[in-house]
Amino acid sequence: MLKARSSVGRAPARHAGGQGFESPRAYHLVMREAQVLRETRETKIKLYINVDGTGEYKIDTPIGFLTHMLESFAKHGRFDLRVEAQGDVHVSHHHTVEDCGIVLGQAFAEALGSKKGIRRYGDSIVPMDEALVMSAIDFSGRGLFFYEDKNLRGKITDFDFELIWEFFKGFALESKSTLHIRVIEGKILHHVAEACFKSFALTLREAVSFVGGDIPSTKGTL
Ligand SMILES: [Mn+2]
């Protein structure tokens, strides 16, 4: 894989008032948002996120099912999300799906900064018809992804179901979070994938929620 050129940054501040996250009141003066531009010979992805959003989204990718999943993620996580993705989908969907996960992870890492005052942990169990998915996250500072391979393979329209794991792995590694996803039940791949993204959204929403106080680690750093 080619070395990626990335530009990761806080989006221009829209709110006046210090950089402090000392209290929920002070926190509300600072928008937790980030924008990332990442370009390789395989993909070009531009992403903006506001972690404290309301679920507004504008997603443009060349893969219909990926667009559907990112829209669902933004809506149910109540994250404001804009994505413009281009990729070598004539080769495979693989690079574009994986790189969208990478860029989303970079954006969360940037938006959360020192992680002072966040809940740090989140979890959820989400049903979608016959599918049932559990996920848990820890913004541990260590990028790790675990899932149980239940041998679910196949196409959702033209989308290879198993690419969702590449997306989540890219996110976990780049956001430096420990992410577990377990498919408890599920037969229809569309339902399983969508339950994964919805559970991921709810889990993240909980983990990034602001509870105040210091950096949530006895080490003093995450
Ligand atoms: Mn759907």
* Ligand 1 centroid from CA 157, angstroms: 12
Mean pLDDT of 104-127: 97
Report residue 22: phi and psi, to 5°. -70, -35
* Ligand 1 centroid from CA 160, angstroms: 15
The domain defined by 5-207 carries CATH number 3.30.230.40: yes
* Ligand 1 centroid from CA 128, angstroms: 9
State residue 3's pLDDT score. Answer: 62
* Ligand 1 centroid from CA 69, angstroms: 8
pLDDT in tens, 52-75: 999 999 999 999 999 999 999 999
* Ligand 1 centroid from CA 142, angstroms: 31
122-140 b/e with 16+ CB inside 10 Å = b? bebebebeebbbbbbbbbb
State residue 23's pLDDT score. Answer: 47
pLDDT in tens, 85-110: 999 999 999 999 999 999 999 999 99
Q: Is the pLDDT of residue 113 over 90?
A: yes
State residue 79's pLDDT score. Answer: 98
Q: Where are the domains of the chain?
A: 5-207
* Ligand 1 centroid from CA 206, angstroms: 23
pTM over 0.85: yes
* Ligand 1 centroid from CA 194, angstroms: 6
DSSP assignment of 162-216:
THHHHHHHHHHHHHT-EEEEEEEE--SHHHHHHHHHHHHHHHHHHHT-B--SS-S
State residue 6's pLDDT score. Answer: 75
* Ligand 1 centroid from CA 131, angstroms: 12
* Ligand 1 centroid from CA 187, angstroms: 14
**Environment class of residue 25 by beta-carbon count within 10 Å: exposed (0-12), middle (13-18) or buried (19+)?**
exposed
User: Which structure tokens are listed for 108?
Assistant: 């969360």
